[in-house]
Amino acid sequence: MKELLESIAKALVDYPEEVEVKEIEGEKSLILELKVSKEDTGKVIGKQGRIARAIRVLMKAAAVKENKRVVVEII
Amino acid sequence: MAQFVEKTGRTVEEAIAEALEELNADMDKVEVEVLEEGNKGIFGLIGSKPAKVRVTLKNTAAEAGKKFINEIIEKMNVDATVEVEETEDTLMFRIEGNDIGILIGRRGETLDAIQYLTSLVVNKGREEYMKVVVDIENYRKKREQTLINLANRLAERVVRYKKPITLEPMNPYERRIIHSSLQNNKFVETYSIGDEPNRKVVIALKA
């Protein structure tokens, strides 16, 4: 899950080396904290959060396979 | 669609350099095929033969998109492959494999997310916009037919009961399919209400 989010974020931003994902695992849910360079924030959020929404949809699909609830936080 | 040039020169290196200049590209953006090694001949006179190369510009947009989708597939542990087809302004990615419903999602939601993100990746740093379509085992075509059938069936119901019907929320692409499939209908008209992402099509009797 962590690697998937990392790959997606790295492909979207201008500074892939600054992409960081932190994983906080609970019993039923998984929180992924995505951190990117300040200049890249817009590249993972998008107008009216459109990019962030697409990322979350994709992460949710991946989580179904692992039987978990996933929360993606962009910080 | 790949762009290439063939160049000759005294050596392979010279020929490549000339080709790169003409393509206005760096070495890492091209593929080089040596057609003739070339031969300096004896004393550079007798039997000298020029080197010949074919230098092809790598299709970076298509490659970038394919790489991105492949990474998603792999990291989601889905057994699938991607093929890409290119026309002048569109890249069509087709995904095929086993157990790939997970990549489609409810009403194509996941597929649309993959398509949107791929389009961003492909068009990153490009001047000319490439339209990107991602399809899974003809899902888009089948969905289109389903929507056309639905539109026609609901239009009949609207006429029979003389009451408008509001459809469930759809994305712009799907709403357009409904609108265009009923635009020549003599008895009903269609319009959309609500805001994205909850915008819905209404089918109503023509005034």
Cβ-based contacts of B112 with chain A (< 8 Å):
54, 57
Question: How close does chain A come to B52, measured CA to CA in Å?
Answer: 37
- DSSP symbols for A7-67: HHHHHH-S-GGG-EEEEEE-SSEEEEEEE--GGGHHHHH-GGGHHHHHHHHHHHHHHHHHT
In order of their start, the domains of chain B are 4-57 (3.30.30), 61-137 (3.30.300.20), 141-205 (3.30.1370.50)
Of A72, A75, A51, give the one whose Cα is nearest residue A62. A72
Distance CA B160, CA B52 (A): 74
Which of B43-57, B125-139, B143-157 ranks highest by mean pLDDT? B143-157
Whether B99 and chain A come into contact, CB under 8 Å, resolves to no
Cβ-based contacts of A13 with chain B (< 8 Å):
none
State pLDDT tens for residues B75-133.
Answer: 999 999 999 998 888 999 999 998 788 999 988 899 999 999 999 999 987 888 889 99
DSSP B98: E
What value of ipTM does the predicted structure carry? 0.95
For residue A8, give the nearest of B110, B117, B124 by CB distance.
B117
Which of B26-30, B87-91, B155-159 has the weakest average pLDDT? Answer: B26-30
Residues of chain A short of pLDDT 70, as ranges, are none
Contact A54 B68 (CB under 8 A): no
Give the mutation candidate from A13, A57, A65 for the B interface (greatest B CB count, under 10 A): A57
In order of their start, the domains of chain A are 2-74 (3.30.300.20)
Contact A54 B103 (CB under 8 A): no
pLDDT of residue B45: 64
Question: How close does chain B come to A36, measured CA to CA in Å?
Answer: 16
For residue A57, give the nearest of B68, B76, B105 by CB distance.
B105
Distances (CA, A) of B34 to A2, B15, B18: 43, 10, 14
Cβ-based contacts of B120 with chain A (< 8 Å):
12, 51
Prediction pTM value: 0.74
Parallel/antiparallel/unpaired status of strands B200-205 and B165-166: antiparallel
Distance CA B139, CA B105 (A): 11
Q: Is the model more confident about B83 or about B29?
A: B83
Cβ-based contacts of B110 with chain A (< 8 Å):
57-58, 60-61
With CA atoms as reference, the chain B residue closest to A2 would be B75
Whether B72 and chain A come into contact, CB under 8 Å, resolves to yes
Whether B95 and chain A come into contact, CB under 8 Å, resolves to no
